[in-house]
A and B are shown apart, each in its own frame.
Chain A
Amino acid sequence: MDLWIEKYRPNAFDDILGQRDTIEKLKAMAKAGEVQHMILSGPPGVGKTTSAIVLAKTIFGDQWSHNFIELNASDDRKLSVIQGKVKEFARSKPIDAPFKMILFDEADSLTQEAQQALRRMMEEYSGTCRFIFSVNYQNNIIEPIQSRCAIFRFKSLSEEDVYEFIDKISRQEGLEVDDDAKKALFFVSKGDLRALTNLMQSLSTVSKKIEAEVVYKSSGTVNLERLKKAIELALSGKYLEAKAIISSFIDEGVGPKEIISETFELITSSDIKVDEKMKGYIIEKLAEAEYRIVEGATPFIQLQSFFAFLSSLKR
C-alpha cells in the first residue's frame, strides 16, 4: 500500500495549497531557470519540502533526482557530515544542468559549527551548487547564511485550505467525512497536512467512515473530554479529583508535554469558562511549568503544582 503522504504530495506549483504569494515568487524563479540559495521558513506540514522538490523537478526535468539531494534530520548533522557528504556532492559537476541543489530539511537542528562551515562552502561552490534550508524558525540559521539566501515565508494553512485537502483525499479514496469530523481533523492536525494525511490513512484502514469521536480518540493520546473535566474540577477547587484524572493519564503512558500542550489548547479556546483576566496568569503558570519540565524538573510534580495553582483560584 502506498504511503498517502507520498501519493498526495503535489507535483506542480499549482497543486500546493494556500501559499499563493510565496509560490508566485518561486514560480518566477523557476521560470528564469536561475535559483539563489534559499531559506524556506514556516510551521511544519505547510509545503516547504514539497515546494523545494517541485522547484527541482521544474528546473531539472527528468534529471532531477541526479541533481538534487535531500538531507533530513535523520542524517547526521555534525560537522563531519557537512565536511564529507555535503562537500562531496557540492563539488562534483551537475548532470545536464547549470547547477545542483541540496535541501537541508529541518535545518533548525544544524549545529552552529556546521553552519559556520557551510557559510564558506556556499561561497566556494556557488558555481555548481545551490543550498536550500527548510526551517521552522528563520533565526535558527546564522546571520551570514541568512544574508546569502533569498527568504521565502510559508504561512500556516487556513481552515478552508485544510478542508479542501480533506475533500480531495476523501473523494479519491472513497471516504466519508462529515463536517464534525472535518473540524476534528483540522483541530487535531493544527494545519499540518503531513500529520493530517497520516492520520487519515491510519483511520481509513479501520473504517471508510471517519467520525469526529474516533479522530479525537486516535489522534492525540490525551482524551480531551477527560482533560477538560480535570481542568474544570481543578478550577472549582476540587484538587484531589483533578489529580486522580491526571494520574490516570500518566498511568496510561501519556507524555506530560502532551498534557501541557493540550491544556494550553483548552484554556486558550473558549471551551473552558475562566475569567479573562485570570487567563493570562494561568497561561503564565503553564508556560513556567513547561519551562521547568524542559529544563529537567520532574514532570509529574510540575503538573501537580500547576493543577494545585488552578484549584487555588477558587476562593
Chain B
Amino acid sequence: MQLPKETISNFIENGYGRIKNQFLSAIEKGKKRFIFNGAYGTGKTFLAKAFANDAKLDFKEINLYTLEYGEEDDTSKLFYSYITQEAMSTSIFSQRKKVLYITDIEKLIKVNPSILKKIKDLSDTLIIFESHGSDIFKADNRQFVSDYVIINFYKINEKNVELYLRKVAMMNSINISGAKLAEIAANSDGNIMSAVTDLQFYYITGGVIPVHRNPDSNIFARLNAIFSGDVSNVDTYLSSQQEVKVFEIWLAEKLPMVFEGYSLYNAFEYLSFSDLLLNKIKAQNWVFLKYIRFLLFNMIGSLSSKMPVRVDYSGPKWGLYY
C-alpha cells in the first residue's frame, strides 16, 4: 500500500500549522538541535523526514537499542562516539547535509544525559531526538536539554485521521465507505500508524473490518450485564491494564445511577479495591486480573437485582479523571 510522500505539505496536525510553523521558524533562526516530544503515531518522524525531503538533505534514523555492545563496554562513551561519528560523516556520494533522527532520548538520558550537552555544537548536522515520556521535563535533566528546541506533538483528532485515511484510500484506489473509514479512524485513538495499519488490513483482506484495538467495544454489553445482575452470558476476559482502567472509569460514572445506599457503598468498595490491585500489576503479575474480573463483574453484579429505569450511556468526562 502506498502512503503519501513525506513532505511538509502532507504533514497533518490539529489546528492551523502550529507545530509546523514552530519548527520551521526555529530552523530559520538557525537552530540545529530539536526534541520532538509526544505520543506515538502523531507525526514526529514524518515531520523530520518531510523537512529532509523538502530541503534535499540526507535523512538517517538511529535507534540506540539496536546498537551492539558487550557487557563491559562503556555505553556512555560508545553512544557519544557513535552519535558523533554519524553527525560528522556525510555520504561519499552526496555532500549534502544531514538530518540525524535519534528515536530514544530516554535511553540516552538513562545512560548519560551530559552527552546531550556535549553534542550541541558538534557540526552542521540537524539532530532531532524523539521523546515519549516526561523524562526531559524532569528538573535534573533540565540543564541538559536547555539548548534544545522542544516541540510538542498532540494526538491527532478523529476528523484529521479520517481525512488522512481518505487520502490514502484514494491514492491506492481502495473502495471504502465513509462510515467504515470513520470507524477505523475512531478505533485508532489518535495514532496515525494504527489507523494506517488497520486500513492496510482492510485493503489486504478485501474488506474485512479489523478488530478493535482497544477491546472496550463491548463496554455497553458488560455494563448492562452488571446492572442486570446476569454476567454469565457476557465475555469478561480482560486483555489489558488499559482496558480495565477504562472500564473502571465507566463503572464509577454509572454506578450511582443504578445503586443507592449500602449497595452503592459496597460497589465502590469493590471498585476501589480492584483499582488498587490494578496498580499492583507490574510487568508479569497478571494473575491479579482474575481477582479484578471477579470483583468487577461477579461481585458488583451480584449487588444488583433488577435493571434500573434509565442509565445515561453518554461517555464519562475524561478530562476530569486524568
State A136–B201 Cα separation when bound (angstroms).
22
Q: Which of B3-11, B87-95, B205-213 is the interface stretch?
A: B205-213
**Which of A25, A37, A119, A284 is B295 in contact with, Cβ under 8 Å?**
A284
**Closest partner residue, chain A, to B287 (CB atom):** A290
Identity of the chain B residue whose Cβ is nearest the Cβ of A112 in the assembled complex: B283
- Total inter-chain residue pairs, C-beta < 8 Å: 135
B215 near A32 (CB under 8 angstroms)? no
- In the bound assembly, the distance between CA atoms of A156 and B61 in angstroms comes to 41
Tell me if A152 is interfacial: C-beta within 8 Å of chain B: yes
A143, CB-defined interface residue at 8 Å: yes
Contact B237 A36 (CB under 8 A): no
Distance between B274 CB and nearest chain A CB, rounded to angstroms: 9
- Bound CA span A271–B287, Å: 22
Contact between chains at A280 and B239 (CB < 8 Å): no
Question: A265 to chain B: closest CB distance in Å?
Answer: 10
Of A79, A150, A283, which contacts B201 at CB under 8 A? Answer: A150
Contact B193–A276 (Cβ < 8 Å): no
Q: Which of B20-28, B165-173, B219-227, B265-273 contacts A (4 or more CB under 8 A)?
A: B265-273
Q: How far is the CB of A113 from chain B (nearest CB, A)?
A: 6
> Among the listed A22, A138, A144, A276, which residue makes an inter-chain contact with B240, where contact means beta carbons less than 8 Å apart?
A138
Q: Which residues of B contact A277 (CB under 8 A)?
A: 266
Q: Are B205 and A153 in contact (CB under 8 A)?
A: no
**Complex contacts, A80 vs chain B, CB 8 Å:** 68
When the two chains form the complex, which single residue of B204, B211, B283 contacts A153, counting CB atoms closer than 8 Å? B211
Closest chain B residue to A26, Cβ basis: B205
Is A49 engaged at the interface, CB distance under 8 Å to the other chain? no
A131-170: CB near B (< 8 Å → 1, else 0) gives: 0000011111001101111111101100000000000000
Task: Please give the distance in Å from A187's CB to the nearest CB on chain B.
Answer: 15
Contact with B along A23-45 (1 / 0, CB 8 A): 01100110110111100011100
Which residues of chain A have C-beta atoms less than 8 A from B302's C-beta? 276, 279
Q: List residues of chain A with CB within 8 A of the CB of B197.
A: 36-37, 147-150
Q: Are B40 and A283 in contact (CB under 8 A)?
A: no
Cα-based distance from A265 to B65 in the complex (angstroms): 43
Q: Is the CB of B237 within 8 A of A264?
A: no
The digit string for A159-199, where 1 denotes a CB below 8 A from any CB of B, is 00000000000000000000000000000000000000000
Sort chain B's interface into a size bin. 35 or more
Residues of B within 8 A of A120 (CB): 61, 63, 65-66, 103
Q: Contact between B66 and A144 (Cβ–Cβ < 8 Å)?
A: no
Decide: A79 and B277 in contact? CB cutoff 8 A.
no
A121 at interface, CB cutoff 8 A = yes
Contact with A along B72-98 (1 / 0, CB 8 A): 000000000000000000000000000
Q: B142 on the interface (CB 8 Å rule)?
A: no
Q: Which of chain B's residues have a CB closer than 8 A to the CB of A83?
A: 66, 68
Whether a CB of chain A sits under 8 angstroms from the CB of B58 is no
B107 within 8 A of partner (CB): yes
A92 at the interface (CB under 8 A from B): no
On whether the beta carbons of B66 and A117 are closer than 8 Å, the reply is yes
CA distance A88 to B229 in the complex (A): 54
Per the bound structure, the CA–CA distance linking A156 and B238 in Å amounts to: 11
Question: Are B241 and A113 neighbours in the complex by a CB distance under 8 Å?
Answer: no
Cα distance A35–B191 when bound, in Å?
A: 21
Residues of A near any B CB (own CB < 8 A) = 22, 24-25, 28-29, 31-32, 34-37, 41-43, 79-80, 83, 108-109, 113-114, 116-117, 119-121, 136-140, 143-144, 146-153, 155-156, 261, 264, 268, 276-277, 279-280, 283-284, 286-287, 290-291, 294
Interchain Cβ contacts under 8 Å between A and B, 11 examples: A25-B211, A80-B68, A116-B107, A137-B239, A144-B193, A147-B191, A147-B193, A150-B201, A151-B211, A279-B299, A279-B302
